[in-house]
Structure 1
Amino acid sequence: MPQGMALYVGAVLGTGVLTLPALAAELAGPASLLAWLGLVVLSVPLATTFAVLATRFPDSGGVSTYVRRAFGKRISAVVGWWFFIGAPLGMPALALFGASYLAEVTHGGQGEAVAYAAAMLTLGFASNAFGVRLSGKVQLLLTGTLALLLVTAVVVAVPHAREGNLEPFAPHGWAAVGSAAALLMWSFNGWETVTHLSGEFANPKRDIKRATVGALVVIGSLYLLLAAVTTLALGESAGKTATPLAALLELGLGSTGPVVAAFIAVLVTSGTINAYVAGTSKLAAALARDGALPRYFAPGAETGAVPLRSLIIVAVMTGSVFSASILFDLDVQTLVLSSTACIMALYVVGASAGIRILRYTSRAGTVSAATALVLLVVLSVLTGWYLLWPLGIAAAWLLVAGRGAAGGQLAQVT
């Protein structure tokens, strides 16, 4: 259970802590705190829905398994492909975010940052080549150290907090809070990751619930504390710095602060990559098992097995996106928002499946899924044209799978 909780925290508590407090403050000022609070609240029904489903149907297919039960194989394959493609789009961005902190401390240029990012991606795939249990132990160490260091950042910055920094509270209007929430959704991606690992728990019915509650408490507390202290301690400068975590630590630790921030950046990045590699490779094997990928990649979908073949294909996809982003100087923000749109679409259909599956057996699960669905639809609209990514993937797959049956099942989801 502790390893599972650590993987959960690592998947959600990602690189958002490195940059998004500043970007949200720039968009909405101190009112961005409302966006943080709203997304923490959203996380409760969303995580609860996935926990109830994972407890009842532990399977490496995760959300795609629940969608298959609710809406059929073709829609399930679409959901699986959203994650299968969305994760390799986002992982290079994760690595580059963390590498930028490290390159700044070592006074390196773009070349060093690329090398650092490549090394972190390589380590993430290597640790998973030995199985999710080793990956879980690595994640437990990473998450524990990360939580300690983030709490340290809050503690050393609190003496510099000023209530006056909350004024004006909404300098860009209340509508800016919605824009900040859409951006901050990147910080809350990952609640579905544990569903792909549900079969690996020693006692899924007991441990998944405990891991979910523990992750909600840790993630919610750390995000809200960091967002609040960033606003109160940095004031107007919060939205003007690219490295807010380094700025916080520098307030209390002086010149040592940026070095500690770089270490945190490496931990955050490594932990998130580790968790996403574990979940995506397991999902790929399950998709192959269910016929949505070539059968060659199916070995490893079963509980306790290492999905080496699917791990390799996920590594190739991630490496290709990473190489293209460097070669063509792609905007990292584009990768982030494209990945987020795919995950948001997955959440919407996953919550819909939760309502259909749990409506007669779990009142709490049904209410959680319905609440999450309403909030997710609103946030999905705020992502704008990036929704073309999941829509394009869905259209391509449904055309390949067959228009007739797929159209009927798509109508059920609608």
Structure 2
Amino acid sequence: MPPNDVRLRQQLLRRKPVSAFLADSENGGDGHGSGGLRRTVGTFQLTMIGVGATIGTGIFFTLSTAVPEAGPAVILSFVIGAITAALTALCYAELTSAVPVSGSSYSYAYATLGELAAWLVGCCLLLEYAVSGAAIAVSWGQYLNDLTQRLFGFTMPAAISAPPGAGGYVNLPGVVLVVLCCLVLMRGSKESALVNTIMVLIKLGVLVLFVVIGVTGFHSGNLHPFAPLGFAGISAAASSVFFSFIGLDAVSTAGEEVKNPQKTLPRAVIGALLVVTAFYCVVAFVGVGAQKWTLFNGQDAGLSAILQRVTGQTWPGAILSAGAVISIVSVTLVVIYGQTRILYSMGRDGMLPPVFRKLNPRSGVPVGNTLIVGAFIAVLAAFVPLDWLANLTSMGTLVAFAVVSVGVIVLRVREPLLKRGFKVPGYPVVPALSVVFCGYLIWNLPADTFVLFACWVALALAVYFGYSRKHSRLGRQEAEPSLPESVLAE
């Protein structure tokens, strides 16, 4: 093999040691002694970040698209999604305890699979966080319209409030929501976590209200036929509703801002999963029991419509719509937060320009990074159709989840003595099953999603070979090991 080919392969497969990640988390890795992100978040607030990023990404509107695919058996679709999320959550719990840094699966891939794999995973996370943030922001206008209609008899014109491709041209509420979230995030991680916790508790209360009222309209006849479209329908819906579980890994993006991370991170991952799964399964069961499955198709603000149908009154639906408005704010807040921390880690490693790793000295947050992410998400929310966003998000997330599961196995083999605050039970079966389930859900995504994803990967590779490979801190350290860290970080 020619020397240049060997050199290229070494560059693509070079790994960042776990010890280097831990050192960066303490000093910021910027070479200027400014320190890193500030550890201000506790276990409860971190769990609420996971719940906040997840509940609201689908349950308030996914039933209107998933139930027509599977019928009442959509409950099983949620179970399949929950099993996949559970298998992956256990893998995340181990890696967060072993590598308690920001960057989520990007950092884990860099420590286990190499630089090119880490870069591609980072780009998949861009689909997961930025694109899902846009998808949620798009849906905010629908619930905002539903709420204002119920309270004031007023709605915004569809041209500026409906999703692009569904009657809308520019989704103005989505843009406004992204701007508001960015303003909160720029104040600091402690303040952002507090705001998120309050909003999460409100939306959990609203979902409890839905269950309590919805169960009064429950009719067992609505569950028949249980699976009118067979197992194929259940599988297709499972790939769709998995979108509702996206966000659990947001916990891992806060690795450098939590207290006692080796214990706090795995507890928060597992705690968030339990809360989310319980709420999803109960809400789905009550929803399909309170309304005939054929009525879900095209039903905007679906949970509100179910409550109005059950009670014959508007006030329960108004409360639920208000809860959905608040819920979607918290989701958007957390996914923007997670995206900025992933890009912060990539910028610190030299994979992205320095603006992504620069911290504001007063708030300790990456302000420039936040503004760039906010602008990108706002543009997507304003102009891109919702179904494109949802499927691309699922693809990016499932790929990242599979990489995390593989990473657990690789790190066990390469660094068996590494201190771990949590270990995956049933290793290596659980990580292997996680990869299988992720692959199964990917297989059931629409063909056009694969085409869009391939285009995204091609763009990611072009950026890597054009910029990231040349500016990688790891590569510069290999090329010029005698240079001090402060020079390499410039």
Give me the TM-score of the superposition, normalised by structure 2: 0.76
Of stretches 341-350 and 169-178 in structure 1, the one that deviates more from structure 2 is 341-350
Deviation at 1:31, TM superposition (A): 1.4
Amino acid aligned to 1:293: L
Distance 1:294 1:249, change over 3 A: same
Deviation at 1:112, TM superposition (A): 5.9
Partner of 1:410: none
User: In the TM superposition, what are the counterparts of 1:148-227 in structure 2 within 5 Å?
Assistant: 148-227=205-284
Amino acid aligned to 1:383: L
Distance 1:51 1:305 in 2: 26
User: In the TM superposition, what are the counterparts of 1:102-181 in structure 2 within 5 Å?
Assistant: 102-106=144-148, 107-108=154-155, 109-110=157-158, 113=161, 114-181=171-238
Deviation at 1:238, TM superposition (A): 4.5
Amino acid aligned to 1:391: A
Amino acid aligned to 2:60: L
Amino acid aligned to 1:371: L
CA contact (8 A) 1:45 1:368 kept: yes
Partner of 2:77: 35
Find out whether 1:101 has 2:143 as its counterpart.
Answer: yes
Deviation at 1:384, TM superposition (A): 3.0
CA contact (8 A) 2:71 2:226 kept: yes
Distance 1:102 1:296 in 2: 34
Distance 2:438 2:291 in 1: 31
Q: SS at the partner of 1:121?
A: helix
Find out whether 1:228 has 2:269 as its counterpart.
Answer: no
Distance 2:127 2:193 in 1: 23
Could you tell me which of 337, 347, 351 is aligned with 2:391?
337
Deviation at 1:35, TM superposition (A): 0.7
Amino acid aligned to 1:232: G
CA contact (8 A) 1:89 1:335 kept: yes
CA contact (8 A) 1:286 1:301 kept: no
Q: If you compute each CA radius of gyration, which structure gives the higher value, 1 or 2?
A: 2
Q: 1:308-345: per-residue Cα shift (whole Å, max 9, x none)?
A: 1211111121122234x1xxxx4211122122222222
Find out whether 1:277 has 2:336 as its counterpart.
Answer: yes
Partner of 1:374: 436
Q: 1:257-302: per-residue Cα shift (whole Å, max 9, x none)?
A: 2211221221221111011011101111111111211123212399
Distance 1:169 1:119 in 2: 41
CA contact (8 A) 2:340 2:373 kept: yes
Distance 2:347 2:300 in 1: 41
Find out whether 1:47 has 2:109 as its counterpart.
Answer: no
Give me the TM-score of the superposition, normalised by structure 1: 0.90
The structure carrying a bigger helix percent of its residues is 1
Partner of 1:68: 110
Partner of 1:409: none
Find out whether 1:58 has 2:121 as its counterpart.
Answer: no
Deviation at 1:111, TM superposition (A): 5.2
User: In the TM superposition, what are the counterparts of 1:358-397 in structure 2 within 5 Å?
Assistant: 358-359=412-413, 360=416, 362=423, 364=425, 366-385=428-447, 386-397=449-460
Distance 1:253 1:274, change over 3 A: farther
Distance 1:41 1:297 in 2: 35
Q: Which runs of 5+ in 1 are unaligned?
A: 407-414
Distance 1:273 1:384, change over 3 A: same
Of stretches 146-155 and 158-167 in structure 1, the one that deviates more from structure 2 is 158-167
Count matched residues: 398
Distance 1:212 1:363 in 2: 13
Partner of 1:83: 125
Find out whether 1:298 has 2:352 as its counterpart.
Answer: no
Distance 2:304 2:441 in 1: 29
Distance 2:333 2:143 in 1: 19
CA contact (8 A) 1:189 1:343 kept: yes
Distance 1:389 1:309 in 2: 28
Distance 1:148 1:129, change over 3 A: same
Distance 1:352 1:127, change over 3 A: same
Distance 2:464 2:332 in 1: 31
Q: SS at the partner of 1:200?
A: coil
Distance 1:379 1:236 in 2: 23
Distance 1:120 1:402 in 2: 35
Amino acid aligned to 1:387: F
CA contact (8 A) 1:103 1:112 kept: no
Amino acid aligned to 2:431: A
CA contact (8 A) 1:283 1:301 kept: no
Distance 1:85 1:377, change over 3 A: closer
Amino acid aligned to 1:110: A
Amino acid aligned to 2:406: S
Amino acid aligned to 2:78: W
Q: SS at the partner of 1:379?
A: helix
Of stretches 67-76 and 339-348 in structure 1, the one that deviates more from structure 2 is 339-348
